[in-house]
Amino acid sequence: MSRVNCYPKLCLKDEAFGRSGSHRVGFATKATLLLLLGLLGLADSNSGRVSAATLPTGFSETIINGPAGANWNECVGITFEDNGRMYVWERAGKVWIKEYGASNWSLLLDIGEEVGGWRDFGLLGFALDPNFRVNGYLYLMYVVDRHHLMNYGTPNYNPASNEYFAATIGRITRYTARTSDGFKSVDYTSRLVLLGETKNTGFPILYQSHGVGSLVFGTDGTLLASCGEGASYSSDDIGNAPETYYAQALSDGILKPKENVGAYRAQLVDSLSGKVVRIDPATGDGIASNPFYDPANPRAARSRVWALGLRNPYRMTLRPESGSHLRSDGNPGVLYIGDVGYDAWEELNVCSGPGQNFGWPAFEGIDPKSGYSNANVENLDAPNPLYPGSGCSRYFYFHDLIKQNTSVTANKPPFNNPCNSTQKIPSGIPQFLHTPPATDWKHGTTLARTWIYNGSGVATAINVGAAGSPVSGSMFPGNCSIGGAWYSGSDFPGQYKNTYFHAELGANWIRDFVFDANDKPVSVAEFLTGGGEIVDVATHPIDGGLYYISWPATMRKISYSSSGNLPPTATASADRNYGPGPLTVQFTGSNSTDPEGLPLGYHWDFGDGTPGSAGANPSHTFNAPAGVPTPYTVTLTVTDNAGQTSTATLIISLNNTPPRVTITSPVDGSKYPMSGDTGYNLRATVTDAESSDGQLGYEWQTILHHNNHEHQEPVDIHHETTTVISPVGCDGNTYYYRIVLKVTDPARLSATNEVRLYPDCQSNAPPAITVWVEDAAPAGAWTGAEGGDGWNWVSGNPTPFSGVRAHQSTLAAGIHYHYFSEASAALPVNAGDALITYVLLDSANLPRELMLQWFDGASWSHAAYWGENLIPWGTDGTASQRPMGALPAAGQWMRLEVPSGLVGLEGHTLSGMNFVIHGGRATWDYSGKSNASSPPLPDTTPPSVTITAPANNATVSGSSVMVSADAADDVGVVGIQFKLDGANFGAEDTTGPYTITWNTSSTSNGSHTLTALARDAAGNQGASVPVSVVVSNTGSGTVVWVDDAVPAGAWTGADGGDRWQWVSSNPAPYSGARAHQSTLGAGIHYHYFAEASATLSVNAGEMLVTYVLLDPANVPRELMLQWFDGASWSHAAYWGENLIPWGSDGTASQRPMGALPAAGQWMRLEVPANLVGLEGHTLSGMNFVLHDGRATWDYSGK
């Protein structure tokens, strides 16, 4: 078995440390280190080699060269500023920067004199202050060279010396970049140590790995840092491991005596080791909203701890858009953490709240870790108040204070005192449920897992992709979990947006994980293989792409393109998105970008059937029939000159306003009972000025808010529906439910409303338990046993779960069981009841399977089992042999719970029960049922219904009058029947929105009555108030200035070799019989007209238009339009390059409009008149100008 860490190929000779000079202690030869690495199973003489990676179709890689060429000097991390500046840091202590669009790197900072760059250590963490461009603060986390730590500032200090393979610390410092040179250099005198200001206050570094990791800023502006537990990776380290530097660390004060517990430092709250810490970036103090904060000592380790139970959390990242902006909320955001495993399992952990304990070393992956979980290591911060009772230790063991995750309240903290199970461990001593990894994967094989609660409510592993697994995809191998990055760009295919890419060093892969809104894994897919020893992953905030570092010298960027050229990014916006028609909207597309900096062509499709526009920022007027809400989907397509495209869409909704939404049930601020599940009707008052309720789309969602994260239920699209609220809360945590309704009208405008429900802690009564077996078999029953088993009633070893006695199976091999039958004290089972039994498995004699059977007076074929399927009774997967998951945890009382419906017992009466195991021994107690709630009352309430269109006393005409209705019911509406003058009008509408189209031409003119009849599932009916209507059926465009000829009275001219050429084909005109074509020529050439008597008046807000078709074989480099207002030609707009030197660029005399329009097709050029200074002017001339190439023109005007 290999026990894996990061950086498997470091420090092969002195030069690799990035500094000259001899090591003070711990010098290792190349051969020695190769031997060490060989023992780890990872030695490779080609330490810098990176084989070609394999990526999905359309993806490619490019090398990101370092300051001295292709190879970097042990680069370990990448990050970006929002402006695109790139930061890369090297293990030896250098930070490099490259400005966005630049090709050269510059050195920002070098603290190599202080950094200890050996084995898995060095400058590993780096972060920019969220307000960096104001304050210039940057943060570094690194292992300090011991020589510097012990001697700096004394006569013994030699800046050329270093001391490795000895005890030292990890440190967090802050430096300030200079504003005077644009934050391109650092003021070294600004150094501020936030954590580790002395040898006694840093992260203890006690062996060759498991040191500092990542720095990440929370959404709330706090600084989070990860660090390993400093233990040995070559033995089960529970303190005093001889291969570690613990003795030296104790002598130096680097390690406190209570911390000499090896890997269990990860479980010691008052230690920085094996933790994520959360500190104030201004002071280094812990944050008051941290889970173990001590206001009397804000710099204590416990005050700084945010999460614990980590082994080697090398890389972590914050999920975008998570967390609160208020420090007091204790919600910096959700952290995704790669934790390097020991000898079995690698972990991807999700930290969604304070004080989460990821289990190490009591757990590795999802499972308890043998060798550690049963080690009796005392927590010197946890005295046992029952000491010196019989057999009672002075302090609790670490494994007393952490248990496997469970949904069973009785098994959650506070735990039973191991000295007396009738007493609890004091709540002032931190106690934890294990937070299992979102995904774990096994060394040496292709096996990856996630977890679910089994039938007993205990966290249990389930394979990725297995039946019943919440995570789809294929399993995978690995042995060194690194970390990753969230991808929110749009340059990858849509399936990758808002997904998480995680890297694995040992197996050289990056995988794409999909997580839901509650940070639960949904799927995993292979993305990159053969990527080398990946140590960091990042994304570019502007250009997208995925960057990764292959240790020790290679950085690569992954890009997507089906043709090799990367597509541009289309960005579209509008100054308004709804209003009455005609509606003039100003669009902006000039914020679109191209990753290679290629010029962009623009094409706007306004979705209304009118010609598109080639302008970067066109204005367009939308029209629709008066009073008819009409949505238009506007699509911007940008194209680079290599043919790659990108699109963006907007919705413009004419004659429309958004809906108004008010939730009326449940009432905002209501309290839900804690006695059991409660159903609520979801109702709302919704109005829309243009649409009936039946035309609106509803999206109800119930969201459970728990502390600083949320659990979302699926969306319900019924207009009226119900939700079930479970009794959570009143346990010291923050719980409430959010009921959210989003309503969208047919013309695609939306509105949202929300109410909140809170737990009623005055009614905190749990569901009733009916106990059937406790201290004796039920009255009237006879008992039996087989397979060497027997009814063994015990009052100790173990202590019963309840009462004075429990019954224990006999220790035996194979199938053995004891049972009772024909009890006169029978147990009736109602619909929804759960059958329960408590069991304690003998941890020294663990069964391979346990089974419960129930007898209903007719059959024993009602059974559930846990563990292996070795007891061959019944048909697997049916009520006679229902699988319930893995065995419960051993050595503690665990609740087995089986929904009675799964074993076919709803409505049955039980008179017998069988307790069966295969091998081993178990103790049983407290069997019975958990009662369901009372059955619902019959529905006798009729629905209500209202006709929402047309309005009462309205006059209607035409063939498409919309008739709609809105209905509500305490359970649900199943159909609406419209009626016209009392007779059925069309078929019953059984699905919302409830509408029908009325062709009034088939109805006589005059007064008519509309009604609607709503029906619910119980047959109750409700009628609307009648609506009277009167049927009465009786019987902005473009101003074109140049089409087929110049305007009347104009004279024409041309220059630069151009002339007026009227053509009727090649190409066919856009409009009319003729178009005018420029002559093919080089340089500037143009043709024009002036002094037309048929002038064109331009009003405020109007748009000047011309259609153009560029010759695809002779594409101009620039085109320009000029207009003459009788006084000046200094009114011009241009597309493409700026080669025609007329006017002042960026003004009305030379207004840039973006890239050239697409060639080979008629494209509409639009120029807002105000941009060229022509609002209120009258035009009498126009000039059509090109630089190079040829174009055809038509249909000019406004």
382-411 pLDDT tens trace: 999 999 887 788 999 999 999 999 999 999
Q: Give whole-number Cα distances, 877 to 143, 369, 881, in Å.
A: 55, 31, 6
Whether 88 is covered by a domain: the verdict is no
Distances in whole angstroms, Cα of residue 1062 to Cα of each of 477, 1091, 1094, 1095: 71, 20, 20, 21
Q: How deeply is 526 buried, as exposed, middle or buried, from its count of CB atoms within 10 A (0-12, 13-18, 19+)?
A: middle
pLDDT band at 215 (very low <50, low <70, confident <90, very high): very high
- Domain end marker among 704, 738, 763: 763
- Shared domain check, 852 and 717: no
Least reliable range by pLDDT among 52-61, 150-159, 918-927: 52-61
User: Each residue of 886-899: pLDDT tens digit?
Assistant: 788 788 778 888 88
Q: Which of 715, 745, 763 is the last residue of a domain?
A: 763
85-94, 989-998, 1177-1186: least confidently modelled range: 989-998
Residue 145 belongs to some domain of the structure: no
Owning domain of residue 1061: 1040-1197
- Amino acid (1-letter code) at residue 109: L
Q: If DSSP codes are grouped into helix, strand and coil, which group holds residue 886?
A: coil
What is the C-alpha separation between 402 and 419, in angstroms, rounded?
16
Among candidate residues 899, 882, 768, 890, the one with its CA nearest the CA of residue 831: 899
Same domain, 856 and 788: yes
Are the beta carbons of 507 and 536 closer than 8 angstroms? no
pLDDT class of 14 with cuts at 50, 70, 90: very low
Q: Is residue 1018, in this structure, part of any structural domain at all?
A: yes
Strands of the sheet with 534-540, listed across from one edge: 59-63, 554-560, 544-550, 534-540
Is residue 601 predicted with pLDDT exceeding 70?
A: yes
**H or E element: which one contains 303?**
helix 301-304
Asked if pLDDT for residue 302 goes beyond 80, the answer is: yes
Residue 501: closest CA among 514, 519, 518: 514
Phi then psi dihedrals of residue 47, to 5 deg: -65, -25
Lowest average pLDDT, out of 562-571, 606-615, 713-722, 1178-1187, goes to 562-571
Q: What is the pLDDT of residue 34?
A: 24
**pLDDT tens by residue, 230-265:** 999 888 999 999 889 999 999 999 999 999 999 999
Q: Write down the pLDDT at residue 676.
A: 65
924 in the same domain as 786: yes
Shared domain check, 1166 and 1045:
yes
Same domain, residue pair 784 and 909: yes
Q: What percent of the chain has pLDDT over 90?
A: 64
Check whether 1029 has a pLDDT greater than 90: no
Lowest average pLDDT, out of 75-79, 941-945, 1166-1170, goes to: 941-945
Residue identified by tokens 């603290």 is: 111
1146: confidence class by pLDDT, cuts 50, 70, 90:
confident
**pLDDT at residue 872 tops 50:** yes
CATH at residue 728: 2.60.40
Retrieve residue 433's tokens. Answer: 């449920």
28 pLDDT above the threshold of 70: no
**With 60 as the cut, is the pLDDT of residue 712 above it?**
no
Residues 894 and 1022 in one domain: no
| Domain finish residue from 1031, 1058, 1083 | 1031
| Contact by Cβ (8 Å): 339, 483 | no
Q: Is residue 289 part of a domain?
A: no
Q: Which two tokens stand for residue 138?
A: 């940057």
Same domain, 603 and 693: no
Q: What is the rounded distance in angstroms from the CA atom of residue 223 to the CA atom of residue 285?
A: 10
**pLDDT tens-digit series, residues 883-931:** 887 788 788 778 888 888 889 999 999 999 999 999 999 999 999 998 7
Q: How much helix, strand and coil, in percent to the nearest 5, is found in the chain?
A: 5, 40, 55
Q: Which residue has the higher pLDDT, 15 or 501?
A: 501
What is the predicted pLDDT for the residue at 33? 26
* 814 domain-assigned: yes
Q: How many CB atoms lie within 10 A of CB 574?
A: 14
Q: How far apart are CA 203 and CA 537, in angstroms?
A: 25
The pLDDT, as a whole number, for residue 44 is 28
Q: Facing residues of 77 across strands?
A: 89
Q: Confirm whether 1134 is domain-assigned.
A: yes
The residue behind tokens 């104001």 is 134
- Could you list the beta-strand ranges (E) of 581-644: 583-588, 600-605, 619-622, 630-640
Find the range with the poorest average confidence among 991-995, 1086-1090, 1134-1138. Answer: 991-995
1175 and 1048 in one domain? yes
pTM of the model: 0.51
SS3 100: coil
| Separation of alpha carbons 450 and 436, rounded Å | 8
Alpha-carbon gap, residue 303 to 280, rounded angstroms:
11
The residue with greater pLDDT, 820 or 1006, is 820
| Three-class DSSP labels, 1072-1114 | CCCEEECCCCCCEEEEEEECCCCCEECCCCCEEEEEEEECCCC
CATH assignment at residue 813: 2.60.120.260
Are 1094 and 1125 found together in one domain? Answer: yes
Report pLDDT for 26. 31
Q: How many domains does the chain have?
A: 5
Whether residue 1000 is found in the same domain as residue 1051: no
931 contacts 769 by C-beta, under 8 angstroms: yes
| 113-to-122, 163, 201 alpha-carbon distances in Å | 11, 12, 20
1157 domain-assigned:
yes
Token code pair at residue 299: 């710099």
Alpha helices in 785-882 (DSSP H): none
Contacts of 965 (CB under 8 A, 6+ apart): 692, 693, 694, 945, 946, 947, 948, 976, 978, 994, 995, 1012, 1014, 1024
**Whole-number mean pLDDT of the chain?**
87
Determine, yes or no, domain membership for 429.
no
Q: Look up the CATH number of the domain holding residue 965.
A: 2.60.40.10
Same structural domain, 602 and 726 = no
Candidate from 455-469, 712-726, 1108-1122 with smallest mean pLDDT: 712-726
Task: Identify whether residues 1074 and 1018 lie together within a single domain.
Answer: no
Phi, psi of 27 (to 5 degrees): -65, 135
Give residue 561's pLDDT: 78
Report the candidate in 547, 574, 572, 567 with the shortest Cα–Cα distance to residue 558.
547
